[in-house]
Structure 1
Amino acid sequence: MDTVETRKLKPEEMEWLAPGHPGRSRLFRTLLLLLWTLLSCHLGGTAQGPGEWTPWGSWSRCSLSCGRGVSVRSRRCVQLPGEEPCWGDSHEYRVCQQPDCPPGAIPFRDLQCALYNGHPVLGTQKTYQWVPFHGAPNLCDLNCLAEGHAFYHSFGRVLDGTPCTPRAQGLCIAGRCLSAGCDGLLGSGALEDRCGLCGGANDSCLFVQRVFRDAGAFAGYWNVTLIPEGARHIRVAQRSHNHLALVARDGHYVLNGDGVLSPPGTYEAAGTRVVYTRGAGPEETLQAAGPTSQELLLQVLLREPNPGVHFEFWLPRERYGSFQAQAQALGWSLRQPQPREVEPQPAETPVVPEAIPARAASQTPDSCGPCPDSRGRAHRLLHYCGSDFVFQARVLGRHRQAQETRYEVRVLLIYKNRSPLRTREYVWAPGHCPCPPLAPHREYLLAARRLVSPDGTRDRLLLPHAGYARPWSPAEDSRVRLAARRCPV
Structure 2
Amino acid sequence: MALRLGPRDPHCPDLGSRPRPFQNLLLLLWVLLACDLGATAQGPGQWTPWGSWSRCSSSCGPGVSVRSRRCVRLPGEEPCWGDSHEYRLCPLPDCPPGAVPFRDLQCALYNGHPVLGTQATYQWVPFHGAPNLCDLNCLAEGHAFYHSFGRVLDGTPCSPGAQGVCVAGRCLSAGCDGVLGSGAQEDHCGRCGGANDSCLFVQRVFRDAGAFAGYWNVTVIPAGARHIRVVQRSRNLLALLGGDGRYVLNGDAAASAPGTYEVAGTRLLYTREGQAETLRAVGPTTHDLLLQVLLREPNPGVHFEFWLPREHYGPFQAQAQALGWPLRQPQPREVEPRPAEPPAVQVAIPAQVPTLAPDHCPPCPDTRGRAHRLLHYCGSDFVFQARVLGRHRQAQDTRYEVLILLIYKNRSPLRTREYVWAQGHCPCPSLAPHREYLLAVRRLVSPDGTQDRLLLPSAGYARPWSPAEDSRARLAARRCPV
Q: TM-score range by the shorter chain?
A: 0.5 to 0.7
* Alignment root-mean-square deviation, CA: 1.6
Distance 1:120 1:31 in 2: 65
Partner amino acid for 2:157?
Answer: P
Task: Please give the per-residue CA displacement for 1:84-122, whole angstroms capped at 9, x wherever unaligned.
Answer: 111110000001121221110000000000000001121
Distance 2:25 2:127 in 1: 68
Could you say what secondary structure the match of 2:90 adopts?
strand
Is 1:200 the counterpart of 2:189? The answer is no
Change (3 A) 1:67 1:145: same
Cross-structure match for 1:221: 215
Cross-structure match for 1:295: 288
Change (3 A) 1:32 1:145: closer
Is 1:305 the counterpart of 2:311? The answer is no
Change (3 A) 1:268 1:37: same
Cross-structure match for 1:128: 122
> What are the within-5 Å matches in structure 2 for residues 254-403 of structure 1?
254-279=248-273, 281-332=274-325
Instruction: Choose 1 or 2 for highest CA Rg.
Output: 1
Change (3 A) 1:33 1:91: closer
Deviation at 1:329, TM superposition (A): 2.7
Q: Which residue of the other structure, out of 26, 40, 44, is the alignment partner of 1:46?
A: 40
Answer yes or no: is the 8 Å Cα contact 1:225–1:332 preserved in 2.
Answer: no
> What are the within-5 Å matches in structure 2 for residues 80-229 of structure 1?
80-229=74-223
TM-score, normalization: structure 2?
A: 0.61
Change (3 A) 1:282 1:295: same
Task: Please give the per-residue CA displacement for 1:373-427, whole angstroms capped at 9, x wherever unaligned.
Answer: xxxxxxxxxxxxxxxxxxxxxxxxxxxxxxxxxxxxxxxxxxxxxxxxxxxxxxx
Q: Which residue of the other structure, out of 234, 241, 250, is the alignment partner of 2:228?
A: 234
Stretches (4+) displaced over 6 A: 30-33
Deviation at 1:204, TM superposition (A): 1.1
Distance 1:40 1:56 in 2: 29
Partner amino acid for 1:291?
Answer: P
Partner amino acid for 2:187?
Answer: D
Partner amino acid for 1:93?
Answer: Y
Answer yes or no: is the 8 Å Cα contact 2:224–2:308 preserved in 1.
Answer: yes
Report the identity percentage: 84
Give the paired residue count: 303
Distance 2:84 2:27 in 1: 31
Task: Please give the per-residue CA displacement for 1:212-264, whole angstroms capped at 9, x wherever unaligned.
Answer: 00114011111110000100000000000001111001011111111121111
Distance 1:251 1:32 in 2: 73
Deviation at 1:43, TM superposition (A): 2.0
Distance 2:266 2:237 in 1: 21
Partner amino acid for 1:186?
Answer: L
Unaligned runs of 5+ in 1: 1-29, 334-489
Answer yes or no: is the 8 Å Cα contact 1:95–1:185 preserved in 2.
Answer: yes
Unaligned runs of 5+ in 2: 1-23, 327-482
Deviation at 1:331, TM superposition (A): 3.0
Could you say what secondary structure the match of 1:218 adopts?
coil
TM-score, normalization: structure 1?
A: 0.60
Partner amino acid for 1:122?
Answer: L
Deviation at 1:309, TM superposition (A): 0.3
Answer yes or no: is the 8 Å Cα contact 2:219–2:323 preserved in 1.
Answer: no
Distance 1:33 1:150 in 2: 67
Distance 2:177 2:283 in 1: 19
Distance 2:25 2:146 in 1: 70
Answer yes or no: is the 8 Å Cα contact 1:72–1:94 preserved in 2.
Answer: yes
